Amino acid sequence: GDSVTQMEGPVTLSEEAFLTINCTYTATGYPSLFWYVQYPGEGLQLLLKATKADDKGSNKGFEATYRKETTSFHLEKGSVQVSDSAVYFCALINTNAGKSTFGDGTTLTVKP
């Protein structure tokens, strides 16, 4: 079945550091890929998405590119802020109106 693998956390960075959170997936066909963010005590917020190979999703300074050849969708941000501290989930949807399959989540802590 489909699966998503995220880099193990937690990740701790200083403010203004560069962020990469790795995500790779296993799926047949052409899934849509998503990054969600979960702030402490809150629900899941969509951060960005990409629906086909070589698409780049971007939002709030975060970016991720759909790489079909490496089955990856790594999340990057050039300069993180303390307010970016949260849990980040990579996810895919592989069938029309089908379920989302999530990675384990990566906890990011940004220190001033």
- Which 3 state secondary structure label does DSSP give 3? strand
Closer by beta carbon to other proteins, 22 or else 32: 32
Work out whether 3 is an interface residue with other proteins (CB under 8 A): no
* Cα–Cα separations (whole angstroms), residue 46 to 3, 42, 80, 88, 89: 19, 12, 18, 10, 9
Provide the mask over 22-41, with x wherever binding to other proteins is found by CB under 8 A and - wherever it is not.
---------xx-x-x-----
Work out whether 43 is an interface residue with other proteins (CB under 8 A): yes
For the chain, strand residue ranges (E) read: 3-6, 11-14, 19-21, 23-26, 32-38, 45-50, 56-59, 62-65, 75-77, 86-93, 100-102, 106-111
Q: How many residues bind other proteins (CB under 8 A)?
A: 26
Provide the mask over 52-71, with x wherever binding to other proteins is found by CB under 8 A and - wherever it is not.
--------------------
Positions touching other proteins (CB under 8 A) are 31-32, 34, 36, 42-46, 49, 51, 89, 91, 93-105
